[in-house]
Amino acid sequence: MRYLIFAVVFGLVLSSTAWTEQSFYEPVPKMKHPADNKWSKEKEELGKMLYFDPRLSGSNWISCATCHNPGLGWGDGLPRTIGDGQKELGRHAPTVINSGYFALQMWDGRKKSLEDQAKGPIGAAAEMNQDYNDLLKELKAIPGYVKRFTSVFGENSLTIDNIAKAIATFERSVVSKNSPYDKYWAGNKSAMSSSAVNGMNLFFGKAKCSICHNGPVFTDSGFHNIGVKAAGPSKVDLGRYNETKVDFDKGAFKTPGLRSIAQSAPYMHNGTEATLEDVIAFYDRGGDVKENLSPLITPLGLNAEEKKDLVEFLKALDGEPIKVILPDLP
Ligand code: HEC
Ligand code: HEC
């Protein structure tokens, strides 16, 4: 009898740990396209051309891919991006991978959709520095574009809004899939090293990362001040506060997704952490700037092994390489 009770209790403990472990895993859902910008293969292909076309910039030198380069994890590999006239800007170019899943775009969440976002950099003097009317004139003179816009959006449809719609449709195809982490939860327990598995348990446990980095793409879609030090030309960046004017948001930035994050170093809104090892060391010391720091950020007391395990886990979030064949531009 005593053994039976023991067996039942032991069984319950086992099954409950198995349940909690499994419960934090969420596969990446199928991409949703907005009702007013439905997917079609042709639209995605047109968006891809526009994404890689430097003629979208005033100088005809800068395309979206200059700063969101597939070869650099769909970022630019720089701490802070370089815009029109080779000037350094205040923020780091985030990866476009999985951006179709984010509720809000930009480090401060000031854009509500990818469509809305895509128009920004084209017109921004500091980025692509292109006059919209000049751009429309330029593209209307290219028969290949006129033909494609007509076929995707109808007659006389070469507009800034439709340019943005096509680009957004392409961006929604840039998804991180089938990582070792996904394979592990699909049943292939050898897909992740034991170090990465330890890192996973730390991520969802002692290291508290999942308080903010949660859900299928590892973001709570929220904004937090995690104590990143200032750097670059914009000495003070108030982040989300610029949008909300709520003191609580001073220095708060959007929680980035973490799938395929190993591909797009350096890290943070101003690129102050060069490697994933640096990011973990940053969290371990409880951030750098204490003013308005989120109470969720505290020193973690990780040992060297645990820090390494966390890095291994982040690397296990790497999806399969996203293949892009560069489009022939019309
Ligand atoms: C000069 C470099 C540069 C160019 C060119 C550029 N971007 Fe960006 N992009 C950035 C930077 C920097 C940010 C972050 C800005 C911020 O948060 O204030 C950003 C943010 C974004 C985001 C938001 C991602 C997120 O996680 O919030 C998307 C999507 C994006 N860009 C797509 C594009 C598209 C599409 C184009 C072309 C139409 C483009 N970008 C052109 C530098 C650039
Ligand atoms: C309080 C919420 C919160 C917690 C807890 C948290 N993060 Fe973050 N994380 C953020 C925010 C917000 C940013 C962006 C901050 C910035 O740029 O100023 C970020 C940035 C990052 C980045 C850089 C991503 C990029 O695109 O530049 C990585 C990697 C990361 N976190 C991993 C972790 C890990 C690992 C842990 C646990 C040790 C963790 N985070 C804990 C909110 C959090």
**What are the pLDDT digits (tens) for 97-146?**
999 999 999 999 999 999 999 998 998 888 899 999 999 999 999 999 99
Residue 306: phi and psi, rounded to 5, are: -65, -40
The pLDDT of residue 290: 96
Across the range 71-99, mean pLDDT stands at 94
pLDDT 10s digits, 27-75: 999 999 999 999 999 999 999 999 999 999 999 999 999 999 999 999 9
264 lines ligand 1 (CB under 6 A): no
CA of 89 from ligand 1 middle (Å) equals: 12
Q: Is pLDDT at 84 greater than 90 in this prediction?
A: no
Residue with tokens 């991180």: 176
Across the range 179-190, mean pLDDT stands at 96
For 131, the token pair is 């006059």
239 lines ligand 1 (CB under 6 A): no
Q: What are the residues whose beta carbons fall under 8 Å from the beta carbon of 315, sequence distance 6 or more?
A: 196, 262, 276
104 lines ligand 2 (CB under 6 A): no
- Tell me which of 201, 255, 270 to substitute to probe ligand 2's pocket, judged by most ligand atoms within 8 Å of the beta carbon: 255
What is the C-alpha separation between 239 and 318, in angstroms, rounded? 28
Confidence of residue 233 (pLDDT cuts 50, 70, 90): confident
128 close to 62: Cβ distance less than 8 angstroms: yes
The pLDDT of residue 19: 41
What is the C-alpha separation between 113 and 39, in angstroms, rounded? 15
317 lines ligand 2 (CB under 6 A): no
Across the range 189-200, mean pLDDT stands at 97
The pLDDT of residue 60: 93
Across the range 154-168, mean pLDDT stands at 97
The pLDDT of residue 22: 53
Q: Is pLDDT at 5 greater than 70 in this prediction?
A: no
Atom of ligand 1 nearest to the CA of 89: 12
The pLDDT of residue 125: 84
The residue nearest atom 19 of ligand 2, judged by CA position, is 255
Tell me the chain's radius of gyration from C-alpha atoms. 22
The tally of CA atoms less than 13 A away on the side-chain side of residue 16 is 6
For 301, the token pair is 């007391």
64 close to 95: Cβ distance less than 8 angstroms: no
261 lines ligand 1 (CB under 6 A): no
The tally of CA atoms less than 13 A away on the side-chain side of residue 271 is 22
Confidence of residue 86 (pLDDT cuts 50, 70, 90): confident
pLDDT 10s digits, 247-265: 999 999 999 999 999 999 9
The pLDDT of residue 4: 42
52 lines ligand 1 (CB under 6 A): no
Residue 317: phi and psi, rounded to 5, are: -90, 0
297 lines ligand 2 (CB under 6 A): yes
The residue nearest atom 16 of ligand 1, judged by CA position, is 106
CA of 222 from ligand 2 middle (Å) equals: 11
294 lines ligand 2 (CB under 6 A): yes
Q: Which ligand is nearest to the CA of 205?
A: 2
284 lines ligand 2 (CB under 6 A): no
- Tell me which of 67, 105, 240 to substitute to probe ligand 1's pocket, judged by most ligand atoms within 8 Å of the beta carbon: 67
239 close to 223: Cβ distance less than 8 angstroms: yes
Report CA torsion sign: 225, 27, 21, 198: negative
255 close to 101: Cβ distance less than 8 angstroms: no
Q: Is pLDDT at 181 greater than 90 in this prediction?
A: yes
Atom of ligand 1 nearest to the CA of 108: 17
272 lines ligand 2 (CB under 6 A): no
For 100, the token pair is 């179709």
